[in-house]
Structure 1
Amino acid sequence: MTAATGKRVAVVTGGIGGLGTAICRTLAASGQRVIAADLGRDAARVAAFEAAVDGLDVAFLPLDVADFDACGSFVADVEESEGRLDVLVNAAGITRDGTLRKMDREQWDSVLSVNLDGVFNLCRHAVDGMAARGHGRIVNISSVNGQTGQFGQTNYAAAKAGMHGFTMALAREVARKGVTVNSVSPGYCETALVLAIPEEIRAGIVAQVPVGRLGRPDEIARTVAFLAAEDAGYITGANIPVNGGMFMSF
């Protein structure tokens, strides 16, 4: 816990996005000191995020999760300034859709670099400190499309499926160190990315969801907060689907 506040310290990558903002707000409401990490190149988005978390113990720091060295410096800076890093939520993600026959190398590389390499880059630098302190919570935001596949998303589906493979392997490595590692796989939610889909296509997506609606970012955030809680130490290597029943399995 931070010496100054007595709070656990949480980092949320992709923190100023739709899901990221909801996660930051929910973790802060649960009593944690939260640092949102995102590119920060869009001043309007940063301003909207700061307005959304006004009054909460949330700070913003710029970070490119695809940059391994930058992630190392970021983690070191957080541990120095805050005294520790207890919770890491890897929510940064992008899409560059296209069928494989038309997908170029940049579309593949950029999605894998952010969505999967970004998870490695942050975890690689954060996990030693967590293990040394005997406590840590890592939550990786995967996707229902990593479980089912999706037309035009070989890059995205591969990254999100790979994320959970990474989750299970790391969970085994650090389980006895007091560190849990889990995934959350959201379905289609009310975010800017999904709401930008043409209405007729979006209606077709909703028709496939048994509960009959898009998910709300707060519903994903509550699941993250549950996995990040002090008393969630017996859950590790798990994938929690929050998809309205769009994909069901054991």
Structure 2
Amino acid sequence: MNFQNRTAIVTGGTSGIGESTVRQLLEKGATVLVLGRNAEKGKQLEALGNCKFYSCDVADPASIESVCSKILEAHPTIDILVNNAGMSLDGTVESLTLEEWNRIFAVNVTSIYLMSKYIVPAMRKNGYGRIINIGSTAGTVGAWGLHAYSATKGAVIQLSKSMAAEYAKEGILVNCLCPGGTMTPLMEGIGANDLDDFAKLFPIGRLAQPDEIARTIVFLASEEASFMAGSTVLVDGGFTCI
């Protein structure tokens, strides 16, 4: 897979799956524009070359609009958009506040809508685009205590399918990748014993590393996936097969 002369945007690109995706795209020759809130990590990624960090809070529509304007002024041609930024939030419909509900939808769903709203027109001009939206196994099966998170990831899956149906004729291929449990910063609050118990739910017997998920994202962004549109790709160690 060669990404020479390709420009990619990765949201939530300063940690976890996003950072691994940035690094792998850079290794394969892409120019990568990283959106995130960790400026220090952003500078570290910029030092790798062919990388530009943009500070952005994807929960804030004004922040997304401003960053996309800056990006398109500097990089009129965008080939790849990885909508990776996300958050998790424990809670049921009874315990979640409306503020919590709205925030997780803003980060996990509305940010994808807004990023795509601003970037798809640039892709259409060139008749080419690859959009990878990050869902979750929680969007395909029920999840105790994660009512809002599961709802957002289900929404991401259906949004991806609808976008794919809309834009495939124009050379813009949209797919959704759904990771299983992955050792990202979102897992940091979980104790070792609980992580061990969680890992036992996966037939493969362990949780994923971010690099393993990123490899599939990079595949979906490449010409190797040229006949994939609207796919929901589960990279979950067998979690949803039992």
CA contact (8 A) 2:202 2:238 kept: yes
Corresponding residue for residue 158 of structure 2: 165
1:34-183 paired onto structure 2 within 5 Å: 34-40=32-38, 46-51=39-44, 54-183=47-176
Q: Which amino acid aligns with 2:142?
A: G
> Given the alignment, which residue of 19, 22, 29 partners 1:21?
19
Letter in 2 for 1:12: V
Alignment partner of 1:199 is 2:187: no
Secondary structure of the residue that 1:241 maps to in structure 2?
strand
Q: TM-score, normalised by structure 2?
A: 0.93
Contact 1:14 1:37 in 2 (8 A): yes
Counterpart amino acid of residue 116 in structure 1: V
Aligned match of 2:30: 32
Q: Could you tell me how far apart the structure 1 residues matched to 2:16 and 2:236 are?
A: 16
Aligned partner of 1:217 in structure 2 is 210
Q: 2:162 is matched by which residue type in structure 1?
A: A
State the secondary structure of the residue aligned to 1:12. strand
Out of 179, 182, 190, the position equivalent to 1:189 is 182
Shift of 1:203: 1.3
Q: Which moved more, 1:80-89 or 1:62-71?
A: 62-71
SS in 2 for 1:7: coil
Q: 1:3: which partner in 2?
A: none
- Number of equivalences: 240
Secondary structure class of the residue paired with 1:92: coil
Computed over aligned residues only, the root mean square deviation of the Cα atoms, in angstroms, reads: 1.8
Mark the runs of 5 or more structure 1 residues left unpaired by the alignment: 1-5, 41-45
* Secondary structure in 2 matching 1:247: helix
Distance in structure 1 (CA, Å) of the matches to 2:120 and 2:45: 30
Distance 1:25 1:53, change over 3 A: farther
2:78 and 2:184 mapped to 1: Cα distance? 28
Q: Specify every segment of 5 or more residues in structure 2 that has no aligned partner in the other structure, as ranges.
A: none
With the length of structure 1 as denominator, give the TM-score of the two structures: 0.90
Give the counterpart letter for 1:77 in structure 2: K
